[in-house]
Amino acid sequence: MNQQLASTGWILLTTMLLVLAFVPFDPHLSELARSLPDEIVDFNRTITDFGTFAWMVYTSAILLLIAFIVRRASRRDTVRQRARTARNLSAYFLLTVGTSSMLVHGLKFVIGRARPELFTDYGAYSLTPFTGDRLFESFPSGHSTAAGAFFGAFAMLKPELRPLFLILALMIGASRVVVGAHYPSDVAAGLLLGLWVAMMYAFLFVRQDWLFRIDAGGWPAPKTASPPPELK
* Beta-bridge partners for 214: 220
Q: How confident is the model at residue 144 (pLDDT cuts 50, 70, 90)?
A: very high
The dihedrals phi and psi of 222, each to the nearest 5 degrees, come to -60, 145
Highest mean pLDDT among 15-19, 116-120, 228-232: 116-120
Q: State the Cα–Cα distance between residues 30 and 45, nearest whole angstrom.
A: 15
Say what the pLDDT of residue 67 is.
66
Q: What is the pLDDT of residues 118-138, one digit of tens each?
A: 999 999 999 999 999 999 999
Given a cut of 90, whether residue 57 has pLDDT beyond it is no
Q: What is the pLDDT of residue 232?
A: 44
Q: What is the pLDDT of residues 63-103, one digit of tens each?
A: 777 766 666 556 666 777 777 888 888 899 999 999 999 99
Quote the distance between the C-alpha of residue 198 and its chain's center.
Answer: 7
When pLDDT is averaged across residues 195-224 and rounded to a whole number, the result is 90
Maximum alpha-carbon separation in the chain: 65
Q: Under CATH, what is the fold of the domain 2-221?
A: Vanadium-containing Chloroperoxidase; domain 1 (1.20.144)
pLDDT the model gives residue 218: 82
